[in-house]
Amino acid sequence: MVRVLIGDFQLSGGDPARGVKQWVATYMKDLDYHGKTVFVSGGTSGINLGIAEAFSAAGANLAVLSRSQEKVDAAVARLKDCGSDAIGFSADVRDFAGVEASLKEAHKVFGEIDVLISGAAGNFPAPVLGMSANGFKSVVDIDLLGTFNVLRAGHAYLKKPGSAIINISAPQAYVATPLQAHVCAAKAGVDMLTRVLALEWGDQGIRVNSIVPGPIAGTEGMARLAPSETAQAAVAESVPMKRMGSVDDVAKVALVLASPLAGFINGAVVPVDGGWSLTGFGALMNTLAGQFVSSSR
């Protein structure tokens, strides 16, 4: 008789379907986020807001943070429409004190944070000779120092054991890309933070992973890098799946990665890019360079 053990369930040669149905039904409940708290930095627009909405629709209480109070208010209203409770904070991820105060307040309102997502980022296309030291620093500070701040301040308020951190990275972290030196350097650093903290915090029951979205349609990031219909079509064509991704493509992976379904995934950098980063799309940026009105504003 064939006997297969999956988790706590035994599939016996006699009735495999019954065993696997029980196993799947039990673990699908892991995607129910009722009673959980999710904090998303940069969660007021684009991909990060889409991720926040997905967690909200799955039952979680949401806290979002970004600079613009107007965007924060609009995001909180949308998240409440998804069915769960939501709060928001106006703060700059470059300011440790502001980030820490927001996390502390979120913890006070909702309790321990189950899922912490660092997604705030800045980008503009410019060659190294077209950006000042401050331009380079701005992006590195938002993406990399900002992620450090969110994770460093957030650690005190995380559920331990049993929480998950997701850093939102970018293919530039490992695909050298012209006009993107600041983003390449910053996001490579973000992925290294993911890996180091997976080691430092793994024994506390905190999993730390990166999600790497490919080109995502309808987002600020793509509007900046491919600012015309022609450029967007060229980007879509360069993806092996011949389309840009959607915000939902990324949000679905975040729901799984933060859940016990991914309970043994730690320190991973997970592309959600239709295979884009396999193509060495960096050269495409040279082709698109003519699309930008000016490299220095």
Q: Which of these, 247, 253, 245, lies nearest to 209 by C-alpha position?
A: 253
Residue carrying structure tokens 């990031």: 221
Q: How far is 183 from 74, CA to CA, in rounded Å?
A: 27
Which residue is it, tokens 């006009």?
Answer: 179
Question: Per DSSP, what are the bridge partners of residue 166?
Answer: 117, 209
CB of 143 to ligand COA, least distance (A): 9
What is d(CA 171, CA 198) in angstroms, rounded to the nearest whole number?
Answer: 20
Selection from ligand COA, ligand NAP, none that 124 binds (CB < 5 to 8 A by kind) is: ligand COA
Work out how close the CB of 33 gets to ligand COA at its nearest, in angstroms, rounded to a whole number. 26
Residue 71 tokens read as 């965007």
Structure tokens at 113: 């944070």
169 near 188, Cβ under 8 Å?
no
Q: CB of residue 23 vs ligand COA: minimum separation in angstroms?
A: 39
Residue with tokens 């928001």: 88
- Closest-CB residue for ligand NAP? 46
* Least gap, CB of 245 to ligand NAP (angstroms): 7
> Taking CB within 5 to 8 Å according to partner kind, which of ligand NAP, ligand COA, none is near residue 119?
ligand NAP
Nearer to ligand NAP, 25 or 134 (CB): 134
Residues making contact with ligand NAP (CB under 6 A): 42, 44-48, 66-68, 71, 92-94, 119-122, 142, 168, 170, 213, 215-216, 219-222
Q: Which does 131 bind (CB under 5 to 8 A by kind): ligand NAP, ligand COA, none?
A: ligand COA
Residues at the interface with ligand COA (CB under 6 A): 121-124, 126, 130-132, 134-135, 138-139, 220-221, 224, 296-297
Structure-token pair, residue 195:
């890996």
